Amino acid sequence: MKSVFIISPFHYCHCVATLVEGLQKSGIKVFSNTSHNYVKNQLFNIDTAIKVAEKCDVVVLAHSALEEKYKEILLPLVNSVRVDVFLDGSDNKEYEAQPSDYKLYLKREYLGTTENNVHPFLFGIEDRYFAHTNKAHQEIWSNKIDDLVCIMSACEKRPWRFDIIQSLKDTFDKDDTVFVGEYREGTALTSVDTGDRHFSGYFGKLLGSRISVDAYGAFGARQTGRFWESIANGCLVMYQNIEPYRWNNTFEDGIHFISYSDTDELIEKACYYVGNPDKAEEIARKGYDHALEYHTTSCRSNEFLSLCERYL
């Protein structure tokens, strides 16, 4: 395979960005209809995009490109080319499309149902997540100065986060080594659209913290960008249960991260690992090493190419 065309939304998408970065690092030429998600070869003219897509080895349709606000622009492209792979990054539906309509169907939140051409496709650790350069976990950990951070917002799409945030604030209210709340120090990043979520100090805050507490995303999504960002910066991640969704080379509770089922369990475990940094370091290191072995964007690219070889 030498070339891939990705029909992409006009905004940042974790799934698309993961795939694009990994493919380009592996030497695959990636084309797209937008300039988002790190694509080096953008084709804004639909007629030109159609011609190029027809010549590419594989055409991928990202489900988020079918959002209502993009349909008028992108349906002519979608309806004019063959689509080999559907990249379903949705988190509140079993399927965004019919798997039988495509040769290969990649699903972000996959329950492991019986369709033979459906496979899980996780986010990956994008290069920009790392606030360090080629450091071993031991060196990263030795330079951490804060005990715990919980950098997340709560809203009507994520109401379970309200209790988590408040419980952490109540427990660690007078602890200067704990930060709970949205972190907006520095300037907003402009190199990639992340919905005004990242500021210049964001990754540095994770890098300087031993424990990062996170929770499900919108609609109960098991994957959040912050899970991967925290892992990339050497944190012990405390997170809600991943099951029942299937992850390839999954992170195991108690080995690569620490799960919690309710706020009482979270507070108990948070206090324990704040008080036992050596045990926190051991799990954080195993999570970090596991991620580097199985969950970089290059790993995702290899998974994608292997599946394409199998199904296309």
286 and 176: one domain?
yes
Confidence (pLDDT) at 34: 92
In which band, very low, low, confident or very high, does the pLDDT at 92 lie, cut at 50, 70 and 90?
confident
134 and 278 both lie in a single domain: yes
Same domain, 305 and 250: no
Of the CA atoms within 13 Å of residue 181, those in its CB half-sphere come to 9
Q: What is the pLDDT of residue 237?
A: 98
Identify whether residues 165 and 230 lie together within a single domain.
Answer: yes
Are both 112 and 207 inside the same structural domain? no
Q: Is 221 exposed, middle or buried (0-12, 13-18, 19+ CB in 10 A)?
A: middle
The reply to whether 13 and 120 lie within a common domain is yes
Q: Which pLDDT tens digit goes with each residue over 277-300?
A: 999 999 999 999 999 999 999 999
267 and 163, same structural domain?
A: yes
What CATH number does the domain containing 224 carry?
A: 3.40.50.2000
Band of pLDDT at residue 36, cut at 50, 70 and 90:
confident
pLDDT band (50, 70, 90) for residue 93: confident
Does position 196 have pLDDT exceeding 80, yes or no? Answer: no
CA 222 to CA 219: how far, in whole Å? 9
Same domain, 91 and 135: no
Query: Mean per-residue pLDDT for 112-133?
Result: 91
Local confidence band at 133 (pLDDT 50, 70, 90 cut-offs): confident
How many domains are there within the chain?
Answer: 2
Q: Which domain holds residue 41?
A: 3-124+297-311
Mean pLDDT of 14-33: 97
Looking at the structure, do residues 307 and 284 belong to the same domain, yes or no?
no
| 222-233 average pLDDT score | 95
The pLDDT score that the predictor gives to residue 226 is: 94
Write the pLDDT tens digit of every residue in 40-86.
Answer: 999 999 999 999 999 999 999 999 999 999 989 999 999 999 999 99
Identify whether residues 143 and 245 lie together within a single domain. Answer: yes
Average pLDDT of the residues of the chain: 94
* C-alpha triplet 171, 175, 176: angle, nearest 5°: 145
Question: Are 209 and 144 in contact, with CB atoms under 8 Å apart?
Answer: yes
Whether 182 shows a pLDDT value over 70: the answer reads yes
Q: What pLDDT does 275 receive? A: 97
Same domain membership, residue 169 and residue 285: yes
What is the pLDDT at residue 194? 67
- The alpha carbon of residue 203 and the mean position of all alpha carbons in its chain are separated, in whole angstroms, by 15
Whether the per-residue pLDDT at 192 is higher than 90: the answer is no
Beta-bridge mates of residue 62: 87
Q: What's the rounded mean pLDDT across residues 174-180?
A: 94
Is pLDDT above 70 for 270? yes
In a shared domain, residues 155 and 30: no
What is the model's pLDDT at position 195?
60
